[in-house]
Structure 1
Amino acid sequence: MTADPRVKDVGEIRTEHLFDMVVDLNPRLPFGSGPFGRRVLFGAAGGTFDGPGLHGDVLPGGGDWALFDPDGTMALDVRLTLRTHDGALLHMTYGGRWVTPPEVREALANPDERLRIDPADYYFRTNPLFETGAEPYAWLNGTVCVGSGYLVEGGIAYKVCRVL
Protein backbone atom coordinates (compact mmCIF):
# COMPACT_ATOMS: atom_id res chain seq x y z
CA MET A 1 0.00 0.00 0.00
CA THR A 2 1.33 3.45 -0.86
CA ALA A 3 1.22 6.37 1.52
CA ASP A 4 -1.58 8.88 1.06
CA PRO A 5 -0.04 11.92 -0.72
CA ARG A 6 -2.00 14.28 1.56
CA VAL A 7 0.02 13.19 4.59
CA LYS A 8 2.60 15.82 5.58
CA ASP A 9 5.57 15.77 7.89
CA VAL A 10 4.59 18.07 10.75
CA GLY A 11 7.73 17.43 12.79
CA GLU A 12 8.18 15.81 16.15
CA ILE A 13 5.73 16.41 18.94
CA ARG A 14 7.66 18.37 21.57
CA THR A 15 6.78 19.03 25.19
CA GLU A 16 8.06 21.11 28.08
CA HIS A 17 7.56 20.63 31.80
CA LEU A 18 4.57 22.61 33.11
CA PHE A 19 4.37 21.40 36.72
CA ASP A 20 4.41 18.48 39.11
CA MET A 21 1.19 17.94 41.02
CA VAL A 22 0.28 15.91 44.11
CA VAL A 23 -3.41 15.31 44.80
CA ASP A 24 -4.36 14.13 48.27
CA LEU A 25 -7.33 11.78 48.13
CA ASN A 26 -10.33 11.18 50.36
CA PRO A 27 -11.39 7.56 50.98
CA ARG A 28 -12.75 6.08 47.77
CA LEU A 29 -16.50 5.94 47.15
CA PRO A 30 -17.46 2.83 45.16
CA PHE A 31 -20.65 3.15 43.09
CA GLY A 32 -20.50 -0.55 42.16
CA SER A 33 -20.73 -2.20 38.77
CA GLY A 34 -23.04 -0.56 36.28
CA PRO A 35 -23.70 -0.79 32.57
CA PHE A 36 -20.28 0.65 31.64
CA GLY A 37 -18.07 -1.00 34.28
CA ARG A 38 -17.21 -0.49 37.94
CA ARG A 39 -17.39 3.20 38.91
CA VAL A 40 -15.35 4.64 41.82
CA LEU A 41 -15.00 8.25 42.97
CA PHE A 42 -11.54 9.21 44.18
CA GLY A 43 -12.34 12.59 45.76
CA ALA A 44 -9.69 15.29 45.95
CA ALA A 45 -8.92 16.42 49.51
CA GLY A 46 -6.35 19.03 48.43
CA GLY A 47 -2.78 19.07 47.23
CA THR A 48 -0.16 21.20 45.52
CA PHE A 49 1.30 21.88 42.09
CA ASP A 50 4.69 23.39 41.37
CA GLY A 51 6.55 24.20 38.18
CA PRO A 52 8.52 26.94 36.49
CA GLY A 53 6.21 29.96 36.63
CA LEU A 54 3.08 28.09 37.73
CA HIS A 55 2.44 26.91 41.27
CA GLY A 56 -0.20 26.81 43.97
CA ASP A 57 -2.77 24.55 45.60
CA VAL A 58 -5.21 21.87 44.49
CA LEU A 59 -8.50 22.76 46.18
CA PRO A 60 -10.68 20.12 47.86
CA GLY A 61 -13.89 19.11 46.13
CA GLY A 62 -12.90 17.78 42.74
CA GLY A 63 -11.98 14.23 41.95
CA ASP A 64 -11.75 11.33 39.56
CA TRP A 65 -14.97 9.56 38.59
CA ALA A 66 -12.99 6.51 37.48
CA LEU A 67 -14.42 3.64 35.49
CA PHE A 68 -12.78 0.21 35.67
CA ASP A 69 -13.00 -2.24 32.75
CA PRO A 70 -13.25 -5.97 33.51
CA ASP A 71 -9.54 -6.32 32.58
CA GLY A 72 -8.53 -3.80 35.29
CA THR A 73 -7.92 -0.81 33.01
CA MET A 74 -9.02 2.42 34.65
CA ALA A 75 -10.50 5.20 32.49
CA LEU A 76 -10.02 8.56 34.22
CA ASP A 77 -12.59 11.36 34.32
CA VAL A 78 -10.99 14.07 36.46
CA ARG A 79 -12.10 17.59 37.35
CA LEU A 80 -9.99 19.71 39.70
CA THR A 81 -9.78 23.33 40.78
CA LEU A 82 -6.30 24.80 41.12
CA ARG A 83 -5.56 28.08 42.90
CA THR A 84 -2.32 29.72 41.78
CA HIS A 85 0.07 31.39 44.22
CA ASP A 86 -1.45 34.77 43.25
CA GLY A 87 -5.08 33.70 43.73
CA ALA A 88 -6.18 32.83 40.17
CA LEU A 89 -8.52 29.86 39.74
CA LEU A 90 -7.82 27.26 37.06
CA HIS A 91 -10.35 24.61 36.08
CA MET A 92 -8.36 21.49 35.13
CA THR A 93 -9.97 18.49 33.45
CA TYR A 94 -8.44 15.34 32.07
CA GLY A 95 -9.13 11.89 30.89
CA GLY A 96 -6.59 9.18 30.55
CA ARG A 97 -5.82 5.53 31.09
CA TRP A 98 -4.17 3.58 33.87
CA VAL A 99 -3.35 0.13 32.55
CA THR A 100 -1.96 -2.33 35.07
CA PRO A 101 -0.47 -5.60 33.90
CA PRO A 102 -1.82 -8.70 35.69
CA GLU A 103 1.49 -9.29 37.47
CA VAL A 104 1.26 -6.00 39.46
CA ARG A 105 -2.48 -5.91 40.24
CA GLU A 106 -2.24 -7.83 43.49
CA ALA A 107 0.58 -5.61 44.77
CA LEU A 108 -1.34 -2.45 43.76
CA ALA A 109 -4.32 -3.65 45.78
CA ASN A 110 -2.13 -4.13 48.86
CA PRO A 111 -1.67 -0.85 50.83
CA ASP A 112 1.66 -2.09 52.21
CA GLU A 113 3.11 -2.83 48.76
CA ARG A 114 1.51 -0.37 46.33
CA LEU A 115 3.98 2.49 46.87
CA ARG A 116 6.94 0.20 46.22
CA ILE A 117 5.85 -0.57 42.66
CA ASP A 118 7.95 1.17 40.03
CA PRO A 119 5.70 3.46 37.92
CA ALA A 120 7.49 2.06 34.87
CA ASP A 121 5.66 -1.23 35.61
CA TYR A 122 2.29 0.26 34.62
CA TYR A 123 0.94 2.73 32.05
CA PHE A 124 -0.68 5.81 33.62
CA ARG A 125 -1.13 8.70 31.15
CA THR A 126 -3.43 11.73 31.08
CA ASN A 127 -4.38 14.62 28.78
CA PRO A 128 -5.00 17.75 30.91
CA LEU A 129 -6.87 20.80 29.61
CA PHE A 130 -7.44 24.09 31.41
CA GLU A 131 -10.05 26.82 31.59
CA THR A 132 -9.63 30.18 33.32
CA GLY A 133 -10.81 33.76 33.16
CA ALA A 134 -7.62 35.00 34.84
CA GLU A 135 -5.76 37.10 32.28
CA PRO A 136 -2.20 36.15 33.36
CA TYR A 137 -3.06 32.48 32.76
CA ALA A 138 -5.31 32.83 29.70
CA TRP A 139 -2.61 31.14 27.60
CA LEU A 140 -3.60 27.88 29.35
CA ASN A 141 -7.04 28.01 27.67
CA GLY A 142 -5.43 27.07 24.35
CA THR A 143 -2.90 24.59 25.70
CA VAL A 144 -3.00 20.81 25.44
CA CYS A 145 -0.97 18.87 27.99
CA VAL A 146 0.13 15.32 28.66
CA GLY A 147 0.79 13.83 32.04
CA SER A 148 2.26 10.76 33.63
CA GLY A 149 0.82 9.58 36.94
CA TYR A 150 2.05 7.51 39.85
CA LEU A 151 1.05 6.64 43.41
CA VAL A 152 2.29 8.57 46.45
CA GLU A 153 1.53 8.33 50.15
CA GLY A 154 -2.04 9.59 50.64
CA GLY A 155 -2.81 10.15 46.99
CA ILE A 156 -1.62 10.42 43.44
CA ALA A 157 1.01 12.50 41.67
CA TYR A 158 1.55 13.64 38.10
CA LYS A 159 4.27 15.13 35.96
CA VAL A 160 2.43 17.45 33.56
CA CYS A 161 3.98 18.77 30.34
CA ARG A 162 2.50 21.14 27.81
CA VAL A 163 2.60 20.15 24.17
CA LEU A 164 4.45 22.81 22.16
Structure 2
Amino acid sequence: MASDSRVKAVGEIRTAHLFDMIVDLNPRLSMGSGPFGQRILFGAAGGSFEGPRLRGEVLPGGGDWALFRPDGAMALDVRLTLRTHDAALVHMTYGGRWITPPDLRSDMADPVKRYQIDPARYYFRTTPLFETGAEQYAWLNDIVCVGSGYLVEGGIAYKVSRVV
Protein backbone atom coordinates (compact mmCIF):
# COMPACT_ATOMS: atom_id res chain seq x y z
CA MET A 1 0.00 0.00 0.00
CA ALA A 2 1.28 3.43 -0.90
CA SER A 3 1.87 5.82 1.97
CA ASP A 4 -0.72 8.58 2.27
CA SER A 5 0.77 11.89 3.44
CA ARG A 6 -2.47 12.74 5.26
CA VAL A 7 -1.95 9.97 7.79
CA LYS A 8 -0.57 11.40 11.04
CA ALA A 9 1.01 9.83 14.06
CA VAL A 10 -1.36 10.08 17.02
CA GLY A 11 -1.00 8.85 20.54
CA GLU A 12 -1.87 5.27 21.35
CA ILE A 13 -5.35 4.69 22.73
CA ARG A 14 -5.18 4.46 26.52
CA THR A 15 -7.86 3.64 29.04
CA ALA A 16 -8.53 4.30 32.72
CA HIS A 17 -10.80 2.24 34.98
CA LEU A 18 -14.26 3.83 35.32
CA PHE A 19 -16.17 1.19 37.29
CA ASP A 20 -17.05 -2.45 37.77
CA MET A 21 -20.71 -3.31 37.31
CA ILE A 22 -22.91 -6.30 38.09
CA VAL A 23 -26.28 -6.51 36.31
CA ASP A 24 -28.73 -8.95 37.83
CA LEU A 25 -31.00 -10.46 35.19
CA ASN A 26 -34.65 -11.50 35.03
CA PRO A 27 -35.52 -14.76 33.25
CA ARG A 28 -34.92 -14.29 29.56
CA LEU A 29 -37.70 -13.67 27.06
CA SER A 30 -37.28 -15.13 23.58
CA MET A 31 -38.84 -13.23 20.71
CA GLY A 32 -38.06 -16.11 18.36
CA SER A 33 -36.01 -16.36 15.24
CA GLY A 34 -36.32 -13.47 12.84
CA PRO A 35 -34.57 -12.49 9.65
CA PHE A 36 -31.30 -11.58 11.45
CA GLY A 37 -31.23 -14.35 14.08
CA GLN A 38 -32.88 -15.05 17.42
CA ARG A 39 -33.77 -11.99 19.51
CA ILE A 40 -33.78 -12.46 23.30
CA LEU A 41 -34.46 -9.90 26.01
CA PHE A 42 -32.27 -10.23 29.07
CA GLY A 43 -34.12 -7.81 31.36
CA ALA A 44 -32.25 -6.03 34.11
CA ALA A 45 -33.54 -6.84 37.59
CA GLY A 46 -31.09 -4.53 39.37
CA GLY A 47 -27.42 -4.52 40.22
CA SER A 48 -24.61 -2.27 41.32
CA PHE A 49 -21.59 -0.38 40.04
CA GLU A 50 -18.54 1.06 41.76
CA GLY A 51 -15.45 2.91 40.65
CA PRO A 52 -13.08 5.68 41.72
CA ARG A 53 -15.39 8.56 40.69
CA LEU A 54 -18.90 7.12 40.91
CA ARG A 55 -20.88 4.32 42.46
CA GLY A 56 -24.49 3.30 42.86
CA GLU A 57 -27.14 0.90 41.66
CA VAL A 58 -28.45 -0.43 38.36
CA LEU A 59 -32.20 0.15 38.35
CA PRO A 60 -34.64 -2.55 37.22
CA GLY A 61 -36.35 -2.05 33.87
CA GLY A 62 -33.52 -1.85 31.37
CA GLY A 63 -32.01 -4.75 29.56
CA ASP A 64 -30.19 -6.27 26.63
CA TRP A 65 -32.18 -6.88 23.45
CA ALA A 66 -29.55 -9.40 22.33
CA LEU A 67 -29.42 -10.87 18.86
CA PHE A 68 -27.99 -14.38 18.51
CA ARG A 69 -26.71 -14.44 14.96
CA PRO A 70 -26.76 -17.56 12.78
CA ASP A 71 -22.94 -17.78 13.10
CA GLY A 72 -23.22 -18.19 16.90
CA ALA A 73 -22.11 -14.66 17.81
CA MET A 74 -24.24 -12.45 20.03
CA ALA A 75 -24.77 -8.78 19.23
CA LEU A 76 -25.64 -6.67 22.28
CA ASP A 77 -28.12 -3.78 22.38
CA VAL A 78 -28.27 -2.60 25.99
CA ARG A 79 -30.04 0.28 27.74
CA LEU A 80 -29.75 0.72 31.50
CA THR A 81 -30.52 3.37 34.09
CA LEU A 82 -27.95 3.92 36.80
CA ARG A 83 -28.66 5.76 40.04
CA THR A 84 -25.56 7.10 41.76
CA HIS A 85 -25.03 7.03 45.53
CA ASP A 86 -26.10 10.70 45.61
CA ALA A 87 -29.34 10.05 43.65
CA ALA A 88 -28.28 11.26 40.17
CA LEU A 89 -29.74 9.31 37.25
CA VAL A 90 -27.51 8.26 34.34
CA HIS A 91 -28.70 6.69 31.09
CA MET A 92 -26.18 4.07 29.90
CA THR A 93 -26.27 2.47 26.46
CA TYR A 94 -23.91 0.07 24.80
CA GLY A 95 -23.53 -2.25 21.92
CA GLY A 96 -21.00 -4.98 21.73
CA ARG A 97 -20.13 -8.48 20.70
CA TRP A 98 -19.93 -11.74 22.59
CA ILE A 99 -18.06 -14.33 20.57
CA THR A 100 -17.91 -17.82 22.07
CA PRO A 101 -15.62 -20.29 20.30
CA PRO A 102 -17.51 -23.38 19.05
CA ASP A 103 -15.62 -25.69 21.44
CA LEU A 104 -16.97 -23.72 24.46
CA ARG A 105 -20.62 -23.45 23.43
CA SER A 106 -21.82 -26.64 25.12
CA ASP A 107 -20.12 -25.65 28.40
CA MET A 108 -21.59 -22.14 28.15
CA ALA A 109 -25.05 -23.72 27.81
CA ASP A 110 -24.49 -25.76 30.98
CA PRO A 111 -26.01 -23.94 34.01
CA VAL A 112 -23.08 -24.94 36.26
CA LYS A 113 -20.06 -24.98 33.94
CA ARG A 114 -20.75 -21.57 32.38
CA TYR A 115 -19.58 -19.75 35.53
CA GLN A 116 -16.38 -21.75 35.73
CA ILE A 117 -15.10 -20.78 32.27
CA ASP A 118 -12.25 -18.29 32.25
CA PRO A 119 -13.56 -15.11 30.52
CA ALA A 120 -10.25 -14.87 28.66
CA ARG A 121 -11.44 -17.84 26.59
CA TYR A 122 -14.24 -15.85 24.95
CA TYR A 123 -14.54 -12.35 23.48
CA PHE A 124 -17.14 -10.21 25.28
CA ARG A 125 -16.59 -6.49 24.61
CA THR A 126 -18.86 -3.46 24.86
CA THR A 127 -18.83 0.24 23.95
CA PRO A 128 -20.68 2.17 26.70
CA LEU A 129 -21.91 5.75 26.32
CA PHE A 130 -23.66 7.86 28.96
CA GLU A 131 -26.23 10.64 29.18
CA THR A 132 -27.15 12.63 32.28
CA GLY A 133 -28.46 16.02 33.30
CA ALA A 134 -26.75 15.84 36.70
CA GLU A 135 -24.12 18.59 36.87
CA GLN A 136 -21.71 16.60 39.02
CA TYR A 137 -21.64 13.84 36.39
CA ALA A 138 -21.86 15.96 33.22
CA TRP A 139 -18.34 14.76 32.32
CA LEU A 140 -19.91 11.36 31.53
CA ASN A 141 -21.73 12.95 28.56
CA ASP A 142 -18.39 13.57 26.87
CA ILE A 143 -16.52 10.28 27.22
CA VAL A 144 -16.31 7.06 25.24
CA CYS A 145 -15.82 3.79 27.08
CA VAL A 146 -14.94 0.18 26.46
CA GLY A 147 -15.92 -2.74 28.62
CA SER A 148 -15.14 -6.41 29.10
CA GLY A 149 -17.98 -8.66 30.17
CA TYR A 150 -18.22 -12.02 31.88
CA LEU A 151 -20.85 -14.25 33.43
CA VAL A 152 -21.64 -14.25 37.15
CA GLU A 153 -24.32 -16.22 38.96
CA GLY A 154 -27.62 -14.46 38.39
CA GLY A 155 -26.33 -12.03 35.81
CA ILE A 156 -23.52 -10.37 33.93
CA ALA A 157 -20.50 -8.38 35.13
CA TYR A 158 -18.46 -5.74 33.35
CA LYS A 159 -15.19 -3.95 33.85
CA VAL A 160 -15.74 -0.55 32.23
CA SER A 161 -12.90 1.80 31.27
CA ARG A 162 -12.99 5.26 29.76
CA VAL A 163 -10.85 6.02 26.75
CA VAL A 164 -8.45 8.83 27.74
TM-score normalised according to structure 2 size: 0.99
**Aligned ranges 1:29-108 → 2 under 5 Å:** 29-108=29-108
1:111 aligns with 2:133: no
RMSD: 0.5
Count residues with an aligned counterpart. 164
Cα separation, 1, equivalents of 2:103 and 2:130: 35
Cα separation, 2, equivalents of 1:3 and 1:43: 48
1:159 is paired with a residue of what secondary structure? strand
Cα separation, 1, equivalents of 2:87 and 2:115: 33
Identity among equivalent positions (%) equals 77
- Gap runs ≥5 in structure 2: none
Which one-letter code corresponds to 2:59 in the other structure?
A: L
Query: Could you report, residue by residue, the CA deviation over 1:125-153 in whole angstroms, capped at 9, with x for unpaired residues?
Result: 00000000000000000110000000001
2:161 is paired with a residue of what secondary structure? strand
TM-score normalised according to structure 1 size: 0.99
Which one-letter code corresponds to 1:93 in the other structure?
A: T
Deviation at 1:3, TM superposition (A): 1.8
Runs of 4+ in 1 over 4 A off after TM superposition: none
Cα separation, 2, equivalents of 1:92 and 1:144: 11
Residue 12 of structure 2: aligned partner: 12
1:2 is paired with a residue of what secondary structure? coil
